[in-house]
Amino acid sequence: MTVHSTDRPLAPAGLLTTPRRAVVFDLDGVIVDSFAVMREAFAVAYAEVVGDGPAPFEEYVRHQGRYFPDIMRIMGLPLEMEEPFVRESYRLAHRVEVFDGVLELLLTLRVRGLRLAVATGKAGDRARSLLDGLGLLPFFAHVIGSDEVARPKPAPDIVRRALELLDVPPEQALMVGDAPTDLASARDAGVASAAALWVGPDEEELLAAGPDAVLRRPGDLLALCPAVPGD
């Protein structure tokens, strides 16, 4: 799939003019490129718990954004895979990379006065540990994991919790995600959504989920997030 960069995000005119005070980010596939680590951790967990044969990682990736135990239930795989998967994810965390342009994006958003949060399919402790190791944790006022809400994505609970902690109403926030589950969670929380395409996801499936904006590169988000007026 070829993705062409644009100078501005694809978004309705109303979204470009609506003031935003906060941005809620998904983590994997938006802020960090963790898919190689994820693939290796999944393969080890599958071999330890299930046994021989190829690990169905491509199917696993199609459920990204969901909590790991929920994905195991959907795929009919043993929940016992979670322990070795998490263990290997911690062991390999030093190989996770930040996407090009993300650091500059976060710096600019903070300078512009926006409040930032992460709402991820990962467990909260693991997400905070990963961001801390990458030096990104200070950018985020809050990092919420799927184990810290009653219902993980695609339910709206995790986005609503982020807004509650940020003390921002839904109409003044934006959710950035790379999976249909992210967009569904945002929509049902009353928050505008932006589809992140820089990791090369299934673009057709993501666009079919109805994002309010399409971002080809991290910097595209800046057109949707001008400086917050002073109080």
Dist CA 97 CA 31 (whole Å): 9
- Which CATH number is correct for 13-33+97-224, 3.40.50.1000, 3.90.600.10, 2.40.110.20, 3.40.50.300? 3.40.50.1000
Residues across the chain:
231
Confidence of residue 13 (pLDDT cuts 50, 70, 90): low
Dist CA 141 CA 166 (whole Å): 7
Average pLDDT over residues 3-7: 40
> What rounded mean pLDDT belongs to the chain?
92
Catalytic positions, written as ranges: 26
Residue at token pair 């809050």: 142
| Pure H helices in 50-138 | 57-62, 68-75, 82-91, 102-111, 124-133
Q: Is the Cβ–Cβ distance between 194 and 212 less than 8 Å?
A: yes
Q: How big is the CA angle at 45 (ends 49 and 120), to the nearest 5 degrees?
A: 130
- Bridge-based pairing of strands 97-98 and 32-33 is antiparallel
Rounded alpha-carbon distances, angstroms, from residue 86 to 39, 44, 93, 133: 12, 11, 10, 16
Whether the per-residue pLDDT at 12 is higher than 80: the answer is: no
Specify the 3-state DSSP secondary structure of 13.
helix
Q: Is the Cβ–Cβ distance between 126 and 145 less than 8 Å?
A: yes
List the one residue out of 99, 86, 65 whose CA is nearest residue 177: 65
User: How large is the angle between the packed helices 68-75 and 82-91, nearest 10 degrees?
Assistant: 130
The predicted-structure confidence for 93-130, as pLDDT tens digits, reads as follows: 999 999 999 999 999 999 999 999 999 999 999 999 99
Confidence of residue 229 (pLDDT cuts 50, 70, 90): confident
Dist CA 144 CA 147 (whole Å): 8
Residue 138: phi, psi to the nearest 5?
Answer: -65, -20
Dist CA 177 CA 69 (whole Å): 20
Rounded alpha-carbon distances, angstroms, from residue 10 to 2, 14, 103, 220: 16, 12, 22, 9
Whether the per-residue pLDDT at 34 is higher than 80: the answer is: yes
The predicted-structure confidence for 40-82, as pLDDT tens digits, reads as follows: 999 999 999 999 999 999 999 889 889 999 999 999 999 999 9
